[in-house]
Structure 1
Amino acid sequence: MARSALTREEVLRAAAALVRELGPDALTMRGLAAELGTAVTSIYWHVGNRESLLDALVERTVAELAAVTAHGRTPVDRIVSVADALRRDLRERPHLVAMVHERGLTERMFLPAQRALAREVHAAGLRGTRAARVVRAVQFQVVGYVLVERNRERAPVQSPGEEVLWNAEGDTSPDPALARALARPVDTGHLFAVSVRALVEGLLAVPGPPRGPVG
């Protein structure tokens, strides 16, 4: 039996869930209608055709990534919290973020995070080119890190992998503790927190005006 009280937001929420789980190619109007227990005509009535639906999902994703707030007591803590939130948002929506990029809206998508970072950098006392450098460096760190994470997750199983290679080095390495540490699985969340904090602390501590253009 078809549903009678379907809303546009329910359609978009269900479509976003399908794309997040299976990718945009898995999103069909019939499949979405079946997922929602409604008629295909109801889907068309709420969101138009498939291209209109994809456009609406892109706008929805951009709006979701706009909800960026900082947390923490120190400037470093607050900047790191924005970076962490941005990484989490990008990781949770890889297919949707790719759709945003394909439609040429990447810069618009990142603008709220840039503004949140700028507010915190200003609160730390930086202005102008120095402030812009911190904003860009943190943004690039987050995006680059997420790309590396995604690449590692999608890569074929490595044989031999790091565990085997570094365990074999353990007996002959001049730093056995390092070899043992690199033989263990990577805690990507912890590594991100350590690296972005070190980056922010270093950038905020640099005295005087920077040399050269931003970037």
Structure 2
Amino acid sequence: MPRTALSREEVLEAAAALVKRHGPDALTMRGLAAELGTAVTSIYWHVGNRESLLDALVERTVDDLAAITPRGRTPAARIVSVAHALRRELRDRPHLVAMVHERGLTERMFLPAQRALAQEVHAAGLRGVRAAEVVRAVQFQVVGFVLVERNRERAPVQSPGEEALWDAEQPGPDPALARALSRPVDSDRLFTASVRALVDGLLPGTTKAGAKGAGELP
């Protein structure tokens, strides 16, 4: 029996979940209605046609990325926290982010994170061109890292893989390096190390201990 009460937010939430799981091509008005246990006419009443629904999902994604809040005791730690939050958001919704990009709203989507980063860069004492460089460097680091992660996840199985190639390497001047590269990559740990190193190198007077100032960070 079709539902009699349904909100626009419930429709958008269900539509976003479908896109996250299967991509935008899997989102049909009839399929969404079946997912919600309601009539197709009810979906149209709440969100309009499919294009209007996709536009609403794009706006919702942009709004979600605007909710990133810096955390930590120092500007360096808060910058690292923004980088972590942005990576999580991008990884959590790749299909929705792709829809934002296709509609030419990528720069608008990143603006709130840029503003958050700019505030922390100012708190660290940088202004002008140097401040802009830090904001963009952190943003590019996050986006590039996510793209590499996605590419590795979608790539065909490698034979031999990186682990096997390094495991077969003859002991050289740095056997510990060969052993480490023969193990699967810990993406979370690598991301944290790379962002902290970037922040340490770009902010004035920043130490590694300062970048680790937020206890909640990995």
TM-score of Structure 1 vs Structure 2, range by shorter chain: over 0.9
2:201 counterpart residue number: 202
CA contact (8 A) 2:167 2:182 kept: yes
Aligned residue in 1 for 2:183: 184
Any residues of structure 2 matched to 1:53-68 within 5 Å, and which? 53-68=53-68
Give the partner amino acid of 1:107: E
Q: Structure 2 length as normaliser, TM-score?
A: 0.92
Q: Secondary structure at the match of 2:98?
A: helix
The answer to whether structure 1 residue 105 and structure 2 residue 105 are counterparts is yes
Q: Which amino acid in structure 2 is aligned with residue 181 of structure 1?
A: A
Q: Which amino acid aligns with 2:8?
A: R
Unmatched 5+ stretches in structure 1: 207-215
Runs of 4+ in 1 over 2 A off after TM superposition: 171-174
Q: Distance in 1 between matches of 2:15 and 2:50?
A: 10
Residue in structure 2 matched with residue 212 of structure 1 by the alignment:
none
Separation in structure 2 between the aligned mates of residue 43 and residue 68 of structure 1, nearest angstrom: 30
- Deviation per CA, 1:149-175, whole angstroms, max 9, x where unpaired? 000000011000011100100x33321
Size of the alignment, in residue pairs?
205
Q: Any residues of structure 2 matched to 1:1-215 within 5 Å, and which?
A: 1-169=1-169, 171-205=170-204
TM-align CA RMSD = 0.9
Task: Tell me if the contact between 2:125 and 2:204 (Cα under 8 Å) persists in the aligned partners.
Answer: no
Deviations 1:87-120 (A, max 9, x none): 0000001000000000000000000000000000
In structure 2, the partner of 1:213 is: none
Q: TM-score, normalised by structure 1?
A: 0.94
In 1, the alpha carbon distance for the partners of 2:194 and 2:171 equals 28
1:75 to partner: Cα distance: 1.4
**SS of match in other structure, 1:32:** helix
Identity fraction in percent: 83
